[in-house]
Amino acid sequence: MIYSGFFIFSPLKKLIMRYLLVFVCFIYSLSIYGQTNLDDYLPKTVNFNSKIPTPKSVIGHNVGEWHVTHDKLVQYMYALANASDRITIENRGTTYEGRPLLLLTVTSAKNQNKIKSIQKNHIEATNNSNFVETDRPVVVYQGFSIHGNEPSGSNAALLLGYYLAAAEGNTIDNMLDNVVILLDPAFNPDGLQRFANWANTNKNQTIVTDPNDREYNEPWPGGRTNHYWFDMNRDWLPVQLPESKARIKTFHEWLPNILTDHHEMGTNSTFFFQPGIPSRTHPLTPKKNQNLTRAIGNFHAKALDSIGSLYYSEESYDDFYYGKGSTYPDINGSIGILFEQASSRGHAQESENGVLTFPFTIKNQFNTALSTLKAAENLRVDLLNYQSTFFKNARAEASKSKNKAIIFGNEKDAAKAVELAKILEHHHIDFYDIKSNVELNGKWYKKDHAFVIPKNQKNKRLIDAMFETRTKFQDSLFYDVSAWTLPLAFNLDYDETTMSNAGSLVESVAHLKGGLDRKSEYAYLAEWHDYYTPKLLSVLLEKDVRVKVGLKQFQHKGQEFDYGTLLIPVQQQSLNSQELYELINKAAKDAHMSVYSVDTGLNEGIDLGSNNFDAIDKPKIAILVGSGISSYDAGEIWHLLDTRYHMAVTKLDVNNINRADLSRYNTIIMPSSYSGLNQSNTKKVKAWVEKGGILISYRYALRWLDRKKLMSLKFKKPEDLNANNISFENRSKFSGAQRIGGAIFNTKLDRSHPINFGIKNEFLPMFRNTTLFLEPSEDSYNNPIQYTSTPLLSGYISEENLEVLGGTVPFKTQRLGRGRIIAFTDNTNFRAFWYGTNKLLMNAIFFSKQM
C-alpha cells in the first residue's frame, strides 16, 4: 500500500501513470494515516527469504504503525541475528537506564567467516603505507536517531536490518561481498524509549493530524536527549557519556570509511543530506573529504528522485565541530554523512508540504540508508584509497614534528589530567607519563599529575583538533561551538615540549589511589584543588562531620596549603577517632585524593584554631527544572552532582514551586531560563532567599533577576550595530555574526575570593555562548573573576562584541536579606567536558557563606 505522504512530496502525475491502484490506496490511506505494510517500503524487484522473520512477526506491528520502543527494537535485532548467517550481534555496554548498546555486523556469510582478518587488513591499511591491497570490503557504520525524538531513523533500522538479512539475488550478494556494515540501530536508547512512549500513548485510532494535538507536543524535557538530558550528538569528541564510549570504541576498532547519522528536522522542511555549507567545513578536514561527500550525495539524490521525495544539500548544517557524528569521522580518514528528515513527530502531522506521515519519513531514511550502501559499493576503491592516503599524509605530517610533544597536567590536581588522558585513550592517541618533575615556562609538571603526547603518531590530526586554538575563520556563522580546546576546557597547564620528558607509554590510565597517610587524634587537612574533592566533602557533611574551610593560605611543617583547604578536627565529632579515620580514608580513596594527618594546630600563617577557618554547612540542594528552564543546562548540573560528586539533589519542577516547602533547601540552582519565574514563584523564592537561602543562577536567568530587581545588574552592549551595505538576502548572516556560538575567553582571578578556591592559576579560561556582558563593580574586591582586556583564547566572536567583553565580569554575587544570590553569565558545566570550571559551581554551593 502506498501511504498519503508519498503523494504530497511526489510528482503526482508520474505516479498515477505508474500505478493503477493508486487511487484506491489514496482513499484508504486518508482514513488510516500511517498504516503500512512491509511491501510498501521495500524495492519491488527484490525477492525476500521467507525464513527471515519480518518486523511484524516479532514486534507485533507494522513498521510505522506505532513508534518502535527500544526493547522491541532489541528483540527484533536479536531475532535477525539468530536467523541470518549474514549478521552477528553484540552488546557493547549499557545506557544510564540500563538499556543495551547493540551493534550488528552485517556482511556476506563468506566475509563473516573471515571477519577478523578483514578487520585486521582494514586497520593495517591505515597503519602501513606499503599495504595497498584494495581487493577488500569497504566498511560503513550506519547509526540512527541519536536524538531520540527523531525516530524515523531507528524505525527505518528495522527495515534496513530486515532487508540486509532477507533480500535475495545478485544485487544484495554483490553488495554484501563488498561492504561490511556496522549497524547501530539506536544511538540513543533512553531517548528513543522516552519518545516512543509519548508518541504511542497519545496516538488516536482515528489519526489526528492537527499539530496542536498532545501527540505532537512532547512535555519537558522531550526525548531528544539521553537520561541526563545531554545532546549526545555533541559528545563524539569529549566522550563523556556511556553511549559515546561504546560507539567510539567501535569506531576506532574498525575505522569505517563512511559513517552515517540519521536525524530529523522541522516538520515543514523536506530532506537534507550532506555536504553542508562549504565555507563552514573545518580547515583540518581534507578537500577530498567534501568531494567524496558530494559523490555519495549523488546516490542519495537518485534514490530520493526515484521515490518522488524532495530534498536539498549545501544550504544548511556544517562540518565544523568535530564533536558531531557527521563531522568526527572527517578528522579520522572517514566520511561523515548527516541526514535530516522533516519530522512527523507523531504518526501524521499537517505541514507546509501537506500531511507528513510517519511511514513517509521512515521510507526516506530507509532509502538513503540503501543509497549509502550503494555509494559505498560503487566508490569502494576511492574510499579505501582516500582513507589510506589520509593516514599516509597524516603520518608524513607527524614525522615532521620529529620528537616534538605536548605536555599537560596540574601539579595540584591529578584527577583532571587523568580525565583528559582518558579522552585520549578513547581516541586511540598514545601518551606517556613523565620521566621526572619538570618546570616549563614557570609551570611545574609533576609525576602522576602530567602526561606527554608525542606529535609523531598516527592520530596527529585528531590531536591538533583537540589541542589547537583558532581565532581566524573563513565564515562568521557556526552551527555549533567554534572552539573546544581541551586543555583550556580542563584548565590544565600545557606546553610544547620534546619526548625527552616522556617516561613510559601509558597502557591504561587510572586515577591515583588516594587515601590517608595515617590516623590522627588531632586533625586532617585536604587541599581543595583536586577535581573530586567535593565528593569527599559531601560524604563527610552527609555523615554530619564538622568540616571547616581555610580562608587564607598557610604552611604546616613546611608544606604549603592554599586558599580553601579543608580542615577536619578529630575531637568533638559525633564519630570517634577510629570511625572518623576509616570514613575519611575511604572517602579520600573514592575521590582519588590524598588527605594529610596533622598532630599540631601550629602553622606558619593562620593556625588551625583561627577564625579564618570557617564551618561549612551541609548543602540541601534543589535544581529548578521544567518548562522554561534549559534542559541541557539543568541536566549538566544534575549529572555533575549526581554522577561525579554523588550528591543527592532534588529536581524541583517550576510548576511545583508554589506547593513546595522551600525551607527543606538551603541552596536552589536556577539553570538558564528565558522566561524566568512567574510573579508568585518569584515572590516565594525571593522570600526564601531573604530568610537565608542561596540562589545560584545561570545565563538568561540573569535577565529575570534583573527584571524582578532581585539583583542590580548592569548589562553592556556594543554600540552602533546598524547594517551598512548588507542586502536583504544577507540579513541573517549579519545578525548571526553577532552571536557567540561558543568560544573560550581568558579571565583574571582574585584567588583569595571563595568563588575561586581550588583553582591553582591566576588566569582561568571560561566558556561563553551568551552575549550577556556584565559591568564590573566599582570595588575591585567584588570582581573576583574578570575578563582580561584581550580575552579571546579560541573561537569566534565579532569585533564589536570582543570590544565590549574585555573588562566585564562573568560572575556577580549580592546579599539579599540574610541570603545571597550568585549569578553566572555563562555555563560553567558545559557538556560535561568543561572540567576546568566545575569548581566554580561547587564553590558557590559550599562556600557562599564565606563570600
Site residues for Zn ion per CB under 5 A? 147, 150, 263
Identify which of 541, 415, 447 has the alpha carbon closest to the alpha carbon of residue 838.
415
Q: Provide the H-helix boundaries in 619-722.
A: 631-639, 679-690, 701-707
Can you read off the three cell numbers belonging to residue 734?
549579519
State the minimum distance, in angstroms, from the CB of residue 106 to Zn ion: 24
Cβ-based nearer residue to Zn ion, 147 or 589: 147
Measure Cα distances from 821 to 643, 758, 777 in Å: 26, 21, 15
State the minimum distance, in angstroms, from the CB of residue 79 to Zn ion: 28
Cβ-based nearer residue to Zn ion, 194 or 461: 194
Cβ-based nearer residue to Zn ion, 150 or 562: 150
- Burial tier of 47 (Cβ tally within 10 Å: 0-12, 13-18, 19+): exposed
State the minimum distance, in angstroms, from the CB of residue 201 to Zn ion: 23
Cβ-based nearer residue to Zn ion, 224 or 426: 224
State the minimum distance, in angstroms, from the CB of residue 473 to Zn ion: 24
Cβ-based nearer residue to Zn ion, 237 or 545: 237
- Separation between Cα atoms, residue 645 and residue 117, nearest integer Å: 44
CB 293 within 8 A of CB 337: yes
Cβ-based nearer residue to Zn ion, 263 or 380: 263
Cβ-based nearer residue to Zn ion, 191 or 810: 191
Strands 621-625 and 649-653: parallel
State the minimum distance, in angstroms, from the CB of residue 281 to Zn ion: 19
Q: Provide the H-helix boundaries in 745-784.
A: none
Measure Cα distances from 39 to 3, 46, 167, 306 in Å: 12, 10, 12, 16
Q: Which amino acid does the sequence have at 164? A: L
Cβ-based nearer residue to Zn ion, 70 or 263: 263
Identify which of 851, 808, 805, 810 has the alpha carbon closest to the alpha carbon of residue 834.
810
Cβ-based nearer residue to Zn ion, 70 or 234: 234
State the minimum distance, in angstroms, from the CB of residue 347 to Zn ion: 19
- Separation between Cα atoms, residue 149 and residue 40, nearest integer Å: 24
Cβ-based nearer residue to Zn ion, 147 or 556: 147
State the minimum distance, in angstroms, from the CB of residue 325 to Zn ion: 9
Q: Provide the H-helix boundaries in 32-150.
A: 38-41, 55-59, 70-83, 109-113, 115-127
- How does DSSP classify residue 274? S
- How does DSSP classify residue 212? T
Per DSSP, the three-state class of 818 is: coil
Cβ-based nearer residue to Zn ion, 263 or 589: 263
- How does DSSP classify residue 641? I
Four-CA torsion 124, 125, 131, 135, nearest 10 degrees: 110
State the minimum distance, in angstroms, from the CB of residue 326 to Zn ion: 10
Measure Cα distances from 622 to 56, 463, 658, 733 in Å: 45, 39, 14, 40
Identify which of 737, 785, 743 has the alpha carbon closest to the alpha carbon of residue 768.
743
Cβ-based nearer residue to Zn ion, 149 or 387: 149
Per DSSP, the three-state class of 517 is: coil
Task: Find out whether the peptide bond into 534 is cis, omega within 30 degrees of 0.
Answer: no
Can you read off the three cell numbers belonging to residue 656?
511545583
Identify which of 489, 477, 484 has the alpha carbon closest to the alpha carbon of residue 798.
477
Cβ-based nearer residue to Zn ion, 317 or 451: 317
Residues 6 or more apart in contact with residue 277 via CB below 8 angstroms? 314, 315, 316, 317, 318, 475, 477
State the minimum distance, in angstroms, from the CB of residue 147 to Zn ion: 4
Cβ-based nearer residue to Zn ion, 233 or 828: 233
State the minimum distance, in angstroms, from the CB of residue 454 to Zn ion: 37
Cβ-based nearer residue to Zn ion, 233 or 808: 233
State the minimum distance, in angstroms, from the CB of residue 173 to Zn ion: 34
Identify which of 741, 708, 658, 657 has the alpha carbon closest to the alpha carbon of residue 823.
708
Cβ-based nearer residue to Zn ion, 150 or 826: 150
Ramachandran assignment for 815, one of left (phi > 0), alpha (psi -120 to 50 degrees), beta (any other):
beta
State the minimum distance, in angstroms, from the CB of residue 267 to Zn ion: 14
State the minimum distance, in angstroms, from the CB of residue 341 to Zn ion: 10
Cβ-based nearer residue to Zn ion, 99 or 262: 262
Residues 6 or more apart in contact with residue 82 via CB below 8 angstroms? none
State the minimum distance, in angstroms, from the CB of residue 263 to Zn ion: 3
- Burial tier of 234 (Cβ tally within 10 Å: 0-12, 13-18, 19+): buried
Task: Find out whether the peptide bond into 221 is cis, omega within 30 degrees of 0.
Answer: yes
State the minimum distance, in angstroms, from the CB of residue 261 to Zn ion: 8
Residue nearest to Zn ion (CB): 263
- Separation between Cα atoms, residue 450 and residue 410, nearest integer Å: 7
Ramachandran assignment for 831, one of left (phi > 0), alpha (psi -120 to 50 degrees), beta (any other):
left
Return the residue matching grid coordinates 527471515.
52
State the minimum distance, in angstroms, from the CB of residue 187 to Zn ion: 10
- How does DSSP classify residue 699? T
- Separation between Cα atoms, residue 52 and residue 72, nearest integer Å: 17
Cβ-based nearer residue to Zn ion, 247 or 460: 247
Residues 6 or more apart in contact with residue 463 via CB below 8 angstroms? 406, 429, 453, 455, 457
Query: Residue 613 — φ and ψ, nearest 5°?
Result: -105, 120
Q: Residues, the chain, total?
A: 851
